[in-house]
Amino acid sequence: MFDPLDFISNESSSFHSPKGEDNTSSLVSNTECSAAEVVTETDGPVIDDIDIDAPIQVIDLPYVQLAPSEVVLTVLLLLKPGVSVNFGQEKRVTKQSSDSICNEKNIPPKYLKATVKWYEHMGNLNLNSKDKICTKIPRLGICQSSPELLGYYTNILSKYNKMDSNDKVVENILQEVSCRISEKCGRTAQPSMTREFQIDNLDCLIKLHEPSLTSDNLGLKTWGASLILSQKICSNFPQIKCCRGSKRVLELGAGTGLVGIAFAHKSLEIDLHSQYVIYLTDLPEILPNLRKNVEINDLNLTGKVHADVLDWTNSTPFVEKYGGDKFDIILIADPIYSPEHPKWVVDMIVEFLAKSGKVFLEVPVRAKYSKERQQLWDLLESHGLCGIVEEIDEGLDDWGNVKYIYKEIVWKST
């Protein structure tokens, strides 16, 4: 299982992005065409008996050298991936009309009409209607192997990179084809995106914005541990809710905010007048996106959710702003990716956890950080904290299957 943090030494912050595949060969020549594009003259009418679910191939896409720019742009927009749900584990299967799909992907009706005319002119029975085009081309983007589509995208880039960039359609083509290429080159090469998360036992869908991933801002990425911890929190909320009358909640290293946002929504789902006050915290460079996600999920006006800076090495500004009251619940997901983090995390727990409070912690089992994980357990023990629940979880994120350790931690005296 590939994990980008495996490339980050516990003594270094360097980050390696995967290289895109070099595939510049043309996949379509003047003499090549799909079976669906071969039209034989007959005395009778051509019968369109191609099922809307019949698959297409890259070769069925418009020939780059001949197709009008509007047609090429339409295809690029249709090939744009849909919103990722739970790291792609789930796909929404609600059937959409062609008009709805075009509206969602910002395709002007006249562009779609031009694309239908192109396929009618080419005699391609696979793609000679709005419904076929809007159903099959997006599906191709999901199912087709990366090398073949990358080759097609390279052909588009090669042609339009030489054209007048002042042409708005050409400009949009270059922008979209660059995005399609990056989307096929792994998460670290992808542009900013909006993800959706469907949490077990939570009625609402959570939407999170993620900027482009960089090595020095890993908190801008939603990691698998956050999803696993969110599932546990929402599934066991009745027990958590009753836990010693808990009211104040702190998330350390909130990142994109999934855990804290899930907690907030679950508390409001159970009681619209929930007395929980939730603080989602991270570093200054992470905060703008964290606040954006709080707003996207309609929590910014509740007065119950605060997103702010909490530096693990200097908590004074946070305490001065919000007071020194302890927290009944502390949420932590995937906090260890440097040698300093075990000490800093424990320092925050010791400073902010109420004597009757509880920590909910989810840590991925990364081979390169076994020493740091053990240091975390040892420091918790030496500061009078102990785990009362420990479970092994498995989950999925952008880089594959991951094993996690889940712990509920309290003061030994409780």
**How is domain 193-411 classified at the architecture level of CATH?**
3-Layer(aba) Sandwich (3.40)
305-309 long-range contacts (CB < 8 A, ≥24 apart) are 305/260, 305/261, 305/264, 305/278, 305/280, 306/277, 306/278, 306/279, 306/280, 307/254, 307/257, 307/279, 307/280, 307/281, 308/279, 308/280, 308/281, 309/281, 309/282, 309/283, 309/284
Q: Which of 17-31, 53-67, 319-333 has the lowest mean pLDDT?
A: 17-31
Mean pLDDT, rounded, for 365-394 = 95
Confidence class of residue 293 from pLDDT cuts 50, 70 and 90? Answer: very high
Dihedral angle of Cα 230, 216, 281, 393, to the nearest 10 degrees: 20
Query: pLDDT per residue over 130-142, tens digit each?
Result: 999 999 999 888 7
pLDDT of residue 274: 82
The answer to whether 159 and 73 have CB atoms below 8 angstroms apart is no
From-to residues of CATH 3.40.50.150 in the chain: 193-411
The answer to whether 320 and 334 have CB atoms below 8 angstroms apart is no
Confidence class of residue 169 from pLDDT cuts 50, 70 and 90? Answer: very high
Average pLDDT, the chain: 84
Mean pLDDT, rounded, for 319-332 = 96
pLDDT of residue 312: 97
Max CA separation in the chain (angstroms): 92
Confidence class of residue 33 from pLDDT cuts 50, 70 and 90? Answer: very low
The residue that leads in pLDDT, 86 or 332, is 332
Q: What span, in angstroms and rounded, lies between the C-alpha atoms of 10 and 368?
A: 8
pLDDT for residue 152 is more than 80:
yes
- In eight-state DSSP terms, residue 187 is G
Query: pLDDT per residue over 205-241, tens digit each?
Result: 999 999 876 555 666 888 899 999 999 999 999 888 6
| Rg, C-alpha atoms of the chain | 26
pLDDT for residue 10 is more than 70:
no
pLDDT of residue 25: 38
Mean pLDDT, rounded, for 165-192 = 82
pLDDT of residue 180: 87
Residues of the chain above pLDDT 90, percent: 61
Distance of CA 405 to the CA centre of its chain: 22
pLDDT of residue 217: 63
Mean pLDDT, rounded, for 309-314 = 97
Three-state secondary structure of 85-136: EHHHCECCCCCCCHHHHHHHCCCCHHHHHHHHHHHHHHCCHHHCCHHHHHHH
Q: What phi, psi does 195 have (nearest 5°)?
A: -105, 160
Q: Which of 412, 306, 319 is nearest to 359 (CA)?
A: 412
Q: What span, in angstroms and rounded, lies between the C-alpha atoms of 356 and 410?
A: 7
Q: What phi, psi does 268 have (nearest 5°)?
A: -75, -30
